[in-house]
Amino acid sequence: MKKFFGIWLLRCPNCFKGRLFTNPNPYNLKTITDMPKACPNCGLDFKVEIGFYFGAAYISYVVSCFFMLGIMGTALITMGWVPKWVVGLAIVLELIFATYILRFSRALWLSIYWWYVGDK
């Protein structure tokens, strides 16, 4: 559970204390992807290699799909069909949470790398 909350709170996958992003506000679009070079607490390298975080785009896509399917699936189960307003609501919520999903995907991608490749 500590690993999950570390990802959810956008913390370092090693110490779970250092912040992954320099600006904690995910809606400041100028600094949305700015990360320190290393964890300020334990020194874990966040800049693994050039283009490392392109893999997070796949995770972002999957998370967004599950988010949309969760909303529409709930409407389908409870109402028996998906009205247009539910689709509109899902799109608006996706736009609101898109910046956090981007950061969450980066945190998950770095965590997967660190837990399965970085320790060896």
Whole-model pTM over 0.95? no
Q: Any idea where the domains of the chain sit in the sequence?
A: 2-118
Length of the chain: 120
In whole angstroms, give the CA distance from residue 54 to residue 120.
22
pLDDT at 116: 86
pLDDT in tens, the chain (120 residues): 888 899 999 999 999 999 999 999 999 999 999 999 999 999 889 988 889 999 999 999 999 999 999 999 999 999 999 999 999 999 999 999 999 999 999 999 999 998 888 754
The pLDDT score that the predictor gives to residue 119 is 58
Structure confidence at residue 63 (pLDDT):
95
For 80, left (φ over 0), alpha (ψ -120 to 50), or beta? left
Give the count of beta carbons closer than 10 Å to the beta carbon of residue 1.
5
